């Protein structure tokens, strides 16, 4: 990031790195704690409220602790037409949690997400950064077993 700034000298920086810093912090500790948010605000010299505002705007950022593996099943129309509801149900059954919840052991967080651009291979989901397509309940069971 610093390299990018050297290359592109611009005014109004400061906040430029915020989104990247938040993502890095979340990658390290799984979520953005109050402490982290305050620390980042101070380091960039911008108001805490601005940092909190950004942290809560984007759906891939979280201010609450999340599971180690984040499952995001697509709930948008093309996946819905290919029975994404069955997929949602089988994740629920496999993990014993509902969308929006995290397993007690902290291994999985289960979320529903909007279109992930894999509609030609619907139903689809993301686990962390990887995309899984043409899902069936059987596949769900297999995929979840391979997660560490």
Partner 1 sequence: MPEKKVVLRNCGVIDPKRITTYLARDGFKALKKALSEMTPEQVIEEIKASGLRGRGGGGFLCGLKWELARKSKGDEKYIIANADEGEVGTFKDRHILENDPFTLIEAMAIAGYAIGAKSGYIYLRAEYHYLLDSLKKAIGQAKKKGLLDFDIDIREGAGAYVCGEETALMESIEGKRGEIRYRPPFPPSRGLWEKPTIINNVETLMNIPRIILNGANWFNQIGTEESKGTKVFSVSGDVKRPGVYELVLGSRLKELVEDLALAEKVKMVQVGGATGRILPYDMIDTPLSFETILGSGAVIVLDKSRDVIDVVYKTLEFLAEESCGKCAPCREGTEVMIEILERFSKGEGLESDLRILPELSNVMMLSSLCGLGQAAPYPVIDSLQYFRSAYENRIREKGGVMI
Binding residues (CB under 8 A) for partner 1: these are 4, 7-8, 10-12, 15-20, 22-23, 50, 53-54, 57-61, 76-78, 80-81, 113-122, 126, 129-131
- CB 85, CB 125: distance < 8 Å: no
Structure tokens at 42: 């101070």
Q: Which is nearer to partner 1, 28 or 104 (CB)?
A: 28
Q: Collect all residues with Cβ–Cβ distance below 8 Å to 65 and sequence separation of at least 6.
A: 30, 31, 102, 106
Shortest distance, CB of residue 104 to partner 1, whole angstroms? 25
Shortest distance, CB of residue 105 to partner 1, whole angstroms? 25
Which phi and psi angles does 122 have, rounded to 5°?
-70, 155
Structure tokens at 36: 């982290």
Q: Which is nearer to partner 1, 131 or 144 (CB)?
A: 131
DSSP category for residue 46:
-
Shortest distance, CB of residue 126 to partner 1, whole angstroms? 7
Q: Which is nearer to partner 1, 33 or 76 (CB)?
A: 76
Q: Which is nearer to partner 1, 6 or 105 (CB)?
A: 6
Shortest distance, CB of residue 72 to partner 1, whole angstroms? 8
The residues that bridge with 108 in the sheet, in sequence order, are 69
Give the residue from 3, 114, 124 showing the smallest Cα distance to 60: 114
């Amino acid at each position: 990031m610093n390299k990018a700034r050297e290359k592109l000298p611009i005014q109004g920086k400061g906040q430029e790195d915020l989104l990247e810093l938040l993502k890095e912090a979340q990658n390290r500790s799984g979520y953005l704690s109050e402490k982290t948010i305050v620390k980042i605000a101070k380091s960039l010299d911008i108001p805490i409220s601005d940092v909190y505002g950004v942290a809560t705007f984007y759906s891939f950022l979280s201010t609450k602790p999340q599971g180690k593996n984040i499952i995001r099943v697509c709930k948008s129309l093309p996946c819905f037409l290919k029975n994404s509801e069955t997929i949602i149900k089988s994740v629920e059954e496999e993990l014993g949690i509902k969308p929006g919840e995290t397993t007690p052991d902290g291994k999985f967080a289960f979320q529903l997400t909007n279109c992930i651009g894999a509609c030609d291979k619907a139903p689809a989901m993301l686990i962390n950064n990887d995309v899984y397509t043409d899902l069936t309940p059987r596949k769900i069971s297999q995929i979840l077993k391979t997660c560490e």
